[in-house]
A and B are shown apart, each in its own frame.
Chain A
């Protein structure tokens, strides 16, 4: 049981961190996308 707690706990933490990082990147990318599209339309 102890082994499972330790192992699964670390896996959960790493995956939670990864998800949080992805969400942060998505938030940063959100305003970037319309800006990039606008710049592409410029002559």
Chain B
């Protein structure tokens, strides 16, 4: 059943919206995380899975999606899902590193992000005054998670934490005119 559906999807005969490379990567990572969670049953992996789900949805509703003509409302949904994804990724890392003190601050930042996002949605998606605090807020969360992860795994030289830290540093929303110079899919 799955094989014929896959063939039909690849041939383009199914009336299902095509996923872009970035969306496919996000959903593949979601599937991989679910498989790993089935084996290891760690709490942080559950939060990590929810983060990938939110990230996948943010790409699905995003500006570069081939599936929809993006309206300002869909852009707002995409940005909200992206901020949620970053918050969940950061929460997962904080749970992984057993860093209880920062939970409150992370939750506070999360609320702050959504306040900022709400304002961005009501004013205008591309308004600089609303966009700059949003960019600062979610980048702060991502960088704090990356720094905490590197601190936690500092004694051991492993490639995993460094890859994740790089991912957190380069995680960003598309912003026409600012990130438009870098081709989609590179960072």
Contacts and interface: CB of A to CB of B under 8 A. Distances in A.
A13 B95 CA distance: 14
Contacts, number: 72
B40 A14 contact: yes
Interface residues of B, number: 35
A35 to B, nearest CB: 30
B93 to A, nearest CB: 9
A15 to B, nearest CB: 8
In this complex, the interface size class of chain A, counting residues with CB under 8 Å from chain B, is 10 to 19
B186 A3 contact: no
A16 B166 CA distance: 18
Interface string A1-33: 111111111111110101000000000000000
Interface of B: 22, 25-26, 28-29, 32-33, 36, 40, 42, 45, 48, 52, 55, 89, 96, 153, 156, 158-168, 170-172, 185-187
